[in-house]
Amino acid sequence: MTPTEPLTGGVAAATALRPPLPVKMVIAGGFGVGKTTAVGSVSEIEPLTTEASVTEVAAGVDDLTHTPRKTTTTVAMDFGCITIDPTLKLYLFGTPGQERFGFMWDDIVEGAVGGLVVVDTRRLDDCYAAVDYFEHRDIPFAVAVNAFDGKVEHTLDEVRWALDVSDGVPVVVFDARERGSVRDALLVVLELALARTEA
Amino acid sequence: MADATPGPDPVGPAPAVRPFLVTAGRVADAAPGRSLPVETQVVATAAGLDALGRLSFERYDIVAACRLPQSVAELAARLRLHLNVVRVLAEDLREAGQLAVHVPDAAATHDASVLRRVIDGLRAVSDSRGVPSDTD
């Protein structure tokens, strides 16, 4: 549970502490799809919430001008972490998303090693923005269908077809409430990221 | 909601107004690569801890909280400050020598050996928690 090694020499020793290298992954998807649940399932701390800014591109809303209108909105962002060892810490950030807007999440996603797009098969279109984002940013990602109550309303092939993701993008079923299930979904993304470094 | 504040306002609609008083209205540059990544690690320096008694309000809170290294995001959440307020103040405190700011090296975090360590570490995470989770 302790995020860092304990202090040995009192307060002054804090300056000698070398912070861990933070590795960041992003969990994205539509509103209420299970992002925060997924973060909370694997995080060693209760998920924290902070206010972050995202840029909204109001695509297709304002048809009078063809220039996308951008506005910056303050949203709540949930995150958690897993200490790998004293020198390495994995951070999981749940990026806020909503329908109708394409988000520019650069402020949160910059430097992330990979992304997990959480999907509710009853509301597939909620995750289009996230899928588009990771594709365009060329960030390794997987699509994780959240099996609410253990049920998935569409087959993975149907999901893949509907989202039109490339063959290289893994599509998996997981349960955001199950720690082992979320862990395995994150591992799929990390393996993908690793394979890219070795390509 | 997005229509509430068209124009140059870089922080969006309230309730973010009050927090930015502490930065004298300054906001972190939102352009990629120009503001501190959310996972940036910050830790108080000896000078910062020595100066603690002379720091006020949010600056005090940040340096005091950073006796242990933590991310900018954790700091914002625990102190209930807007992320960009913490970014601005962290930069100030760094310039004053009171806070060490470790911006993550993207090349290091994307290194194959680092990814392998994360994978191995994550694999070691057990299927379920030691404590029973509440049902919902």
How many residue pairs bridge chain A and chain B with CB atoms within 8 Å of each other?
188
Pairwise CA distance, residues B13 & B17, whole Å: 8
Q: Which of residues 97-156 of A touch B (CB under 8 A)?
A: 101, 106-108, 110-111, 113
Domain that holds residue A48: 18-198
Mind listing the pLDDT tens digit for each residue in A33-78?
Answer: 899 999 999 999 999 988 777 666 655 444 444 555 666 777 788 9
CATH number at residue A152: 3.40.50.300
The answer on pLDDT for A5 being more than 80 is: no
The answer to the question of residue A1 being in a domain is: no
Please state, in angstroms and as integers, the Cα–Cα distance from residue B14 to each residue in A49, A72, A156, following that order: 17, 12, 41
ipTM for this model: 0.83
Number of folded domains that form chain A? 1
Amino acid at B93: L
Tell which residue, A29, A20, A195, A12, has the closest CA to residue B105.
A20
Crossing angle between the packed helical segments B57-65 and B83-95, to the nearest 10 degrees: 80
The answer to the question of residue A8 being in a domain is: no
Mind listing the pLDDT tens digit for each residue in B52-61?
Answer: 999 988 999 9
Q: With an 8 Å Cβ cutoff, are B30 and A19 in contact?
A: no
Residue of A nearest to B74 (CA): A48
The answer on pLDDT for A171 being more than 90 is: yes
Crossing angle between the packed helical segments A35-42 and A179-198, to the nearest 10 degrees: 90
Range in A29-38, A173-182, A184-193 the model is least confident about = A29-38
The answer to the question of residue A189 being in a domain is: yes
The answer to the question of residue A5 being in a domain is: no
The answer to the question of residue A10 being in a domain is: no
Q: Locate the domains of chain B by residue range.
A: 18-123
A194: contact with B, CB 8 A cutoff: yes
Q: Please report which confidence band the pLDDT of residue A84 belongs to, taking 50, 70 and 90 as the band edges.
A: very high
Residue of A nearest to B120 (CA): A84
Q: With an 8 Å Cβ cutoff, are A72 and B10 in contact?
A: yes
Q: CA gyration radius for chain A? A: 18
- Partners of A77 on chain B (C-beta within 8 Å) are 38, 73, 83
- Partners of B83 on chain A (C-beta within 8 Å) are 50-53, 77
The answer on pLDDT for A94 being more than 80 is: yes
